[in-house]
Structure 1
C-alpha cells in the first residue's frame, strides 16, 4: 500500500526528512558516528531543531539496519513544547486597529475570516461557505494540515462582519490560483 502523494504529506516529508538528509555528506559511508556528528554540529541542545534532526537520523539509521540507534534517540530528549516561550498574541483591540487600516474589500473579508474563525492563512483558500448563513455562521475547511473540519466563529463584541458580503471570494481566488499555476 503506497501512501497517497498529497501536497501536505510531501511537504511534511520534505521539511521533516529531506532537508535534514541533505546535510549528510554524500562522500562518506552512513554510520551512527556520522549521524551524531552532523546532529551535534548543526543543532543546539534542547532545541526543536535538535529533536527533529535526531528523529530523522534515528529513523534513517533504523531503516539502514545500523545497530544500536539508542544514542541518536537520546539526542531527541531535552525539548518539549513546554520549553517554548508562550505566544505573544495581539489583543482584540490590536486586531481591530490593524483591520481599520485595511481598505481593499476582498482582503478585509480574508482578514475578518482569519480573525473570527481562527484559521491558518492558507485555509482561507480552501473554505466552503455553504453554511455561513446559518446561526452561528459556520465555515468548513475542505483540506489542510488538520484535514476537513467545521469551524465555529469566535465572538468579539466590537466586531461587525458581513459574512455574505464576500462569501464568494475564496472560490474566485482558488480558481485564479489554479489557473495561474497550471
Structure 2
C-alpha cells in the first residue's frame, strides 16, 4: 500500500496544471496556491498562501485533490471567497490548548526520526527549553507566541531560537504566524570573542596534568580539534598502530577523518599509547561532553575552557595554509558554519602568520623584473 507521502506526490502531479499543490504540515493537509489577499489583510496583492483542508490521511489526500480542482475553478471564474475557508481553520486552531499542541508536536517529531540520545538531546535543547515558557493551558494563538518571543532579549541567540521554534509550532498547528521580523540581528559574529590559548600554553597545560588518561584526552583534543565527546568514539586500533590520521566513528556529525595540527604533538603527547578514561557512554553526546569539561575545570584548573582547544585547532589550520573547505570537513562543519563561526576569531597576528607562510613557499609567483 502506498504511503501518504507517495499519494501526495501523485496527486500533486495531477494538480500541476491547476496551479495548486497539496502540502502536509504536521497532522493536517493544506492546499497551496497564488490566492487573493484575506479579508482585512495588510498585503493587498495576490500571493502564495495555504488553505487548511483536512487531516493527513489517505482519504484526506483524495479530498484535498478534489477541493484543489474546485478552488482552481473558483479562481478562474472569480468566485473564490476566503469566507468559505477561514472558519474551519479557526475552529482547528482553537480546538486545542498550547499543551495539547506541544504534545502532538512532540509525537510528530519522534515519528519522523529515531528516538535516541542525539534526537532526545536536540528536543531538550532546541524545543523543550522554549516550550516550557509557554502557558500550556491557554489557547494557541499568534498573540501568545508573540509576547513570549518579545519577553526574550533582542539580538540574542535565545531570541533567534524562540523565533525559529515557535514558528515551527505555529506552522504545525496551521496558525498564521511568522515571527521572522522579531528575530533580530544575532549571528555567530555577535558573540563575545575571548582569547584563545597559545600553543605554548597548551603544551605547558598538557605537561601539568597528573592523570595520564585525562592527559591523553587533552592531547587528542588539542592535536585534532575534536568535540569533547568525540574522543570516546574513535578508531583506537589505528592510533595504536601509529596512524596519525584519526577516524571518528560516531558523534554529533558522524564518521570523518582528521589530520593532526601540529603533527609533532602526536609523538610528544604520546597519542599512540592510548589511555582512555572509563566513563559512562550510555548518555547523550552533550552529557558526555559536559563530563569532559567539568573534569578539566574542577580537577585541573585549566586557565582556559577545554573546548577552546577545538577553536585553537581551527585557527591553527589557517596558519598551516589548509584550505578552509578541508578544515570545515575535518571539523564536521558545513563551510558556511565554519566560516561564520571562526571568522571572528581571526586577528592580525593570524593573518601575518598565514602571510609569512605563503611568502616562504618556493613555488610562489614572482613579480616581473622592472
TM-score, normalised by the number of residues in structure 1: 0.83
Change (3 A) 1:95 1:178: closer
- Is 1:127 matched up with 2:234? yes
Contact 1:139 1:151 in 2 (8 A): yes
Task: Provide the residue aligned with 2:209 in structure 1.
Answer: 102
Partner of 1:177: 280
Aligned to 1:90: 197
Q: Are the equivalent residues in 1 in contact too, given 2:156–2:184 (CA < 8 A)?
A: no
Instruction: Give the structure 1 partner of residue 186 of structure 2.
Output: 79
Please list every run of at least 4 consecutive aligned residues from structure 1 whose deviation after the TM superposition is greater than 4 angstroms: 156-159
1:91 CA displacement: 0.7
Distance 1:101 1:109 in 2: 12
1:29 positional shift = 0.9
Greater relative contact order (Cα 8 A, min sep 6): structure 1 or 2?
1
User: Displacement, 1:10?
Assistant: 1.7
Aligned pairs for 1:133-172 within 5 A: 133-134=241-242, 137-155=244-262, 160-165=268-273, 167=274, 169-170=275-276
Q: 1:17, CA displacement in angstroms?
A: 0.7
SS of 2:238 mapped into structure 1: coil
Query: Conserved in 2, the CA contact under 8 Å of 1:92 and 1:156?
Result: no
1:10 matched to 2:120? The reply is yes
Counterparts of residues 7-46 of structure 1 (less than 5 Å): 7-41=117-151, 43-46=152-155
Shift of 1:117: 0.8
Distance 2:271 2:207 in 1: 17
Q: Which protein shows a greater Rg?
A: 2
CA separation in 1, counterparts of 2:281 and 2:187?
Answer: 39
Change beyond 3 A, Cα 1:77–1:178:
closer
Structure with the bigger percentage of helix: 2
Distance 1:24 1:38 in 2: 7
What residue in structure 1 maps to residue 172 of structure 2? 63
Q: Aligned to 1:30, what secondary structure does the other structure show?
A: coil
Q: Deviations over 1:4-41 (max 9, x none)?
A: 12311221121111110011012211111101101111
- TM-superposition CA deviations, 1:114-156 (whole Å, max 9, x none): 1111111111111112322355x12221111111111211116
Q: Which residue of 1 aligns with 2:158?
A: 49
Q: 5+ unaligned residues in a row in structure 2: which ranges?
A: 1-110, 283-370
8 Å contact kept, 1:129–1:138: no
Give me the whole-angstrom Cα distance separating, in 1, the residues matched to 2:182 and 2:259: 40
- TM-score by length of structure 2 reads 0.43
